[in-house]
Amino acid sequence: MLPKLLAAGIAIATTLAAAPVLGQSLNGSQAIEEIQITSTSRRSVGLADVNASVSVLSQDDLNLIKSSHYQEALNRLPGVAIHRNNGQESLMAIRSPVLTGAGACGSFLVAENGIPLRSQGFCNVNEMFDAHTENAERIEVVRGPGSAFWGSNAVHGLINVVLPKAGDAGEITLEQGPRGSQRIKGAYGSDYGKFKQLFLFNGQSEEGYRADSGVDQQKLSWLYNYTNDNGTEFDGGFTVINLNQETAGFVAGTNAFEDSNLRTTNPNPEAFRDSINTRMWTSISHSVEDWNLVITPYWRDVNMTFLQHFLPGQPVEDSEHRSLGTQLAGYRDLSSGAQLAIGFDIESTQGNLKQFQPNPTSGSFFLRNSIPQGRHYDYDVDARQLAAFVNYEQSYDNGWDVSLGLRLENVQYDYENNMINGRTNEFGVACRFGCRYSRPADRDDSFTNLSPKLALSYALNEEHDLQFRAQRGFRAPQATELYRLQNAQTIAELDSVELDSFEIAFKGAGETWNYSATAYYMDKQNDILTNSARENLNNNHTKHQGLEFSLGLDITETLSFNGVFNLASHTYENSQISGGLDIKSNDVDTAPNTFGNFRLRWRPSSDITAELEWVNMGDYYTNAENTADYEGHDLANLRVQYTLSESITLSLNVLNLTDEAYAERADWTTFTGDRYFPGEPARAFFAVNWKFR
């Protein structure tokens, strides 16, 4: 498939390269050469100068979208297909299938101001809700493995939420939506010269479209900046996130999402999720001779409790971890014109996990005699992450640029079981059919990985570039994959997941247009899966290839177009039996071959902005056997923003304009058959923004 995709990409890119320069800046927004990002090198660089598959959602974009869920914003970007579950939950996909189960979390690194939201060994598939996206200055997404500046978990991609700089600010936004949905967002800051500060806050409350699915969430950030007399700059702050959510589960039955009597029901009214995430950091920048040194110490505390309503017996998981870490980097411009960066990362984490089932197991005779009531797991894990990296970039007069990077990283775990070892209930009594949950004895584990990167770029002319990248991403096993075992497994002998990525891209930008066309091929080895005996194994080999297109174009002085379109193929590459079938060469489940996002934006005056959005999700298989599928959907959204005065702006967002019956996520299991998270019907949100400073 890759040769055909590559040929199509080259043809489209060549056509786009001939596009005329039309005149004004794209959509009247920030020109691409003015956009700054930090995700590729952990310091601010121009987007036009970066040799990486990186996309940016600007503050203007985020203010117009006013997303009720971060999916609505991120899915505008190439290669990104986040599926929303219920409430603030989600499953992520960046150049990948929508990953679920073992091996899913930790395949993407999610950070805020360059600080990962969670320690690399303690991920959660829903951790994106712990980022302060609502008040962000921009959101940066790197597709494919992270650079040498990022380590474990940046396998398929990286999301970095960048908060505004401290300084003068004063505004508040109030929003009202359907079913009691209310949101408030604000910013207040002051500039005292050498010292600046900024408070950001966001709160939302909604009853939920489905029964017993309300959400309450609060987010607070404080940011500061101080420069002393010798030029040393301190830039830091803290973020606190609190989530209290009632969770709705899947509705089961073929096309149940179309049934008006089922769509609003909740088969798991008892389900909940409570999460508190706190982060503190300070970046200290100082120039010493020819070096610019940046050291960023940080502290993180994560606590989450939720009912695992999707498991027999519905146990409660209570987990937490606390981390203290430091990022250190030095940057230097060499006499040859090259740029050199070297650095070290160190992080120490203390974590623990408890799983407790308050009620007896219901269901079949087998389940009742294999899943005991009471404690299933109670363990502590001390983790340490050490890494060193180097990155070299050189530009040549003949139009060539080269970037070389290398990262060496070691992750160590010290695991201590606080219960009786083995496959028993909490009192050491064996289950009649063998207990499902197995607790390994105390042990230590260590993983070392090397991550190289090569990137070449050639300027075809002043407006068009050709780029090539080859790099490796890796992911050390997570603590839960090593120590939360089941059935007869007492030791999980796991290796790090490795992904080799190769891509070629055409990029171009003029005063009124920009485009990119990228073909990628990725080979993923040692992926972790849970087999039919519920053992965690390195037994999955998958291939990922595709084409990503993006285009921005001013059609007239008042009308512009922006869109992304994705072609992808994600397949199993090793023989394994699932449902009695060998699934080698099958599509990975929940891996649409096509999806995209297309927008027309109209600005008849500086006071009015209107946008019509078409969201396309192609069909996909919902099981590994490729015998069940979801037909996909198309949604239309309308957004209008009107500046009433210098201080007042009004907004109206209408989502699912045509009232389409669709599924946010479709799935299939042997026990339930087809099951879905139903999408919400047409709904409108009205907001007022008041800038009082």
- For position 284, what pLDDT does the model report? 96
- Taking only the tens place, the pLDDT of each residue in 183-202 is 999 999 999 999 999 999 99
| Residue bearing the bigger pLDDT, 385 or 671 | 385
What integer is the mean pLDDT of 454-478? 95
- For position 355, what pLDDT does the model report? 98
- Taking only the tens place, the pLDDT of each residue in 577-611 is 888 889 999 999 999 999 999 999 999 999 999 99
- For position 536, what pLDDT does the model report? 82
- Taking only the tens place, the pLDDT of each residue in 507-562 is 999 999 999 999 999 999 999 888 767 778 788 999 999 999 999 999 999 999 99
In the predicted structure, residue 411 carries a pLDDT above the cut 60: yes
Q: How confident is the model at residue 10 (pLDDT cuts 50, 70, 90)?
A: very low
Q: How confident is the model at residue 634 (pLDDT cuts 50, 70, 90)?
A: very high
Least confident residue range of 38-47, 112-121, 166-175, 393-402: 38-47
Does residue 6 sit in helix, strand or coil? helix
Please give the share of the chain, as a percent, with pLDDT higher than 70.
94
- Taking only the tens place, the pLDDT of each residue in 481-514 is 999 999 999 999 999 999 999 999 999 999 999 9
If DSSP states are collapsed to H, E and C, what string results for 271-308? CEEEEEEEEEEEEEEEEECCEEEEEEEEEEEEEEEEEC
Distances (CA, A) of 631 to 255, 457, 546, 590: 10, 39, 20, 11
In Å, how far from its chain's centre is CA 653? 24
What integer is the mean pLDDT of 626-652? 97
Q: What six digits make up the tokens of 568?
A: 């992808």
Q: How many CA atoms lie within 13 A of 394 on its CB side?
A: 10
In the predicted structure, residue 139 carries a pLDDT above the cut 80: yes
What integer is the mean pLDDT of 565-573? 97
Is this prediction's pTM over 0.85?
Answer: yes
In the predicted structure, residue 49 carries a pLDDT above the cut 70: no
Do 186 and 200 touch, CB atoms closer than 8 A? Answer: yes
Q: Provide the mean pLDDT of the chain.
A: 92
**82 vs 100: CA distance, rounded Å:** 12
Do 569 and 546 touch, CB atoms closer than 8 A? Answer: yes
Domain ranges of the chain: 2-691
If DSSP states are collapsed to H, E and C, what string results for 590-643? CCCCEEEEEEEEEEEECCEEEEEEEEEECCEECCCCCCCEECCEEEEEEEEEEE
In the predicted structure, residue 25 carries a pLDDT above the cut 80: no
- Kindly report the backbone phi and psi dihedral angles of residue 135, in degrees, each rounded to the nearest multiple of 5, phi listed first: -110, 15
- For position 678, what pLDDT does the model report? 97
Domain spanning 2-691 has what CATH number?
2.40.170.20
- For position 17, what pLDDT does the model report? 36
In the predicted structure, residue 278 carries a pLDDT above the cut 60: yes
